[in-house]
Amino acid sequence: MELKVDKTTKILLGAIAFGLLLNTSNVFIDKAYANDWDLVVELNKSNVKIDRMQENLNIIDKNVRVLEKIINTTESNLTTTINNACQKQL
């Protein structure tokens, strides 16, 4: 059985083949740039982690300042109490 193909059919088949080729090349191009997108995603994840760490450091810093105030107040109160006790003894 011999298949005869006229010019119109050849042009249509050629256009379909060309379209499939372009579609395949787009898939490969997308895969080629996937590494760049992966890098962007990883950088975003790293930035989120850095932001969380910075927030935690800010909280720690505030807590340290509060503790310093408590220690200073306690030291002042203790010094005053010792001075008062010593004056009463004299």
* Model pLDDT, residue 81: 92
1 assigned to some structural domain: no
5-9, 33-37, 61-65: least confidently modelled range: 33-37
18 assigned to some structural domain: yes
81 assigned to some structural domain: yes
- Residue reference for tokens 């004056």: 87
19 assigned to some structural domain: yes
2 assigned to some structural domain: no
Print the domain residue range for 29.
7-89
- pLDDT score of 1 more than 50: no
52 assigned to some structural domain: yes
